């Protein structure tokens, strides 16, 4: 069983020529409301690969919450530990996706602030991010025997939490925010990873977008290339990576084999609009 503690959002996605600048008004070619939230995206990615997944989070008693419950059911994501909150809207993210597939996102937590880790049992395999309260992430880390933290969106976290990480998976900007190192070349990527290892993480995987990922652990380090694909929308690529990585590690695949499999899933995820694979299960 993989416990995914995290957010579930309704994503309001605008297709625009380029992500708008401050003060700019753009005409979007279209918009749509899609399921999202880093937690739900990661839970669905793991479940679609065949893992048994329990989603630990919260949605509102509104139409968006109802829509997300349908997505969980359709993707066989367990909801035993899902809280339905009344009087608070389901989390929502506004997403601009440019013609180059790049995006800008602002997410309002809403009901995600009510996610509770209290039901996660001792010894659990946990995957989480930082769109739910840090106190819940910390509680999950205390219970977990395997703890994968995708530190997104970037926010300050204590070293005691980093030291609980079996795997920590920042992207470049999140790694920069956690370490204070400007990641602008291989040397700085490697230095940032060493910094996180020195603070107690067992494995550090820095995701590098179209380039692939860098993996460092106390025994060594390695770069993994990403396959070249026709990019439509990069939203949720990191989530697809984390969900797939959790699936393969939970299935006792070695880290060296799990990483390229997860990179492949992340690359495929950029070839469709939205954070969740729209094809039927």
Rounded least distance, CB 121 to ligand RIB, Å = 26
Q: Return the HEC string of 31-93.
A: EEEEEECHHHHHHHHHHHCCCCEEEEEEEECCHHHHHHHHHHHHCCEECCCEEEECCCCCEEE
Contacting residue, 16, 37, 114, 169, with ligand RIB by CB under 6 A? 37
Q: Does 41 bind ligand RIB (CB under 6 A)?
A: yes
> Kind of pairing, strands 167-168 and 203-207?
parallel
Of 65 and 238, the one with the shorter C-beta distance to ligand RIB is 238
Residue nearest to ligand RIB (CB): 36
Greatest extent of the chain over all pairs of C-alpha atoms, in Å:
51
Our answer to whether residue 239 is catalytic in this structure is yes
Contacting residue, 93, 126, 183, 259, with ligand RIB by CB under 6 A? 93
Q: Does 131 bind ligand RIB (CB under 6 A)?
A: yes
Q: Are 155 and 137 in contact (CB under 8 A)?
A: no
Size of the site for ligand RIB (CB under 6 A): 16
Nearest to 245, CA basis, from 164, 147, 157, 173: 147
Distance CA 161, CA 57 (A): 20
Contacting residue, 2, 4, 11, 58, with ligand RIB by CB under 6 A? 11
**Which spans of this chain sit near ligand RIB (rule: CB under 6 A)?**
7, 9, 11, 36-38, 41, 93, 105, 107, 131, 235-236, 238-239, 275
């Amino acid at each position: 069983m993989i416990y995914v503690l995290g957010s579930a959002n309704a994503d309001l996605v605008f297709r625009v020529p380029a992500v708008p600048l401050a003060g700019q008004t753009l005409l979007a070619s279209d918009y749509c409301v899609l399921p999202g939230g880093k937690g739900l995206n990661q839970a669905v990615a793991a479940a679609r690969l065949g893992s048994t997944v329990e989603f630990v989070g919260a949605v509102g008693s509104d139409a968006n919450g109802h829509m997300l419950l349908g997505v969980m059911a359709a993707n066989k994501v367990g909801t035993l530990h899902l809280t339905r909150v009344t009087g608070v809207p389901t989390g929502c993210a506004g997403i601009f996706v440019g013609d180059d597939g790049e995006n800008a996102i602002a997410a309002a937590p809403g009901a995600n602030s009510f996610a509770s880790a209290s039901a996660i049992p001792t010894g659990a395999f946990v995957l989480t991010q930082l769109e739910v309260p840090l106190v819940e992430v910390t509680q999950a880390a205390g219970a977990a025997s395997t703890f994968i933290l995708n530190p997104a969106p970037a926010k300050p976290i204590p070293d005691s939490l980093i030291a609980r990480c079996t795997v920590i998976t920042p992207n470049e900007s999140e790694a920069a925010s956690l370490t204070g190192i400007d990641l602008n070349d291989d040397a700085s990527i490697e230095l940032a990873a060493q910094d996180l290892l020195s603070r107690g993480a067992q494995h550090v995987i820095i995701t590098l977008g179209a380039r692939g990922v860098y993996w460092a652990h106390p025994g060594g380090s390695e770069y993994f290339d990403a396959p070249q694909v026709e990019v439509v929308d990069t939203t949720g690529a990191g989530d697809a990576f984390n969900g797939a990585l959790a699936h393969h590690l939970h299935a006792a695949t070695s880290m060296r084999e799990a990483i390229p499999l997860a990179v492949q899933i992340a690359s495929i995820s950029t070839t469709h609009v939205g954070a969740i694979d729209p094809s039927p299960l």
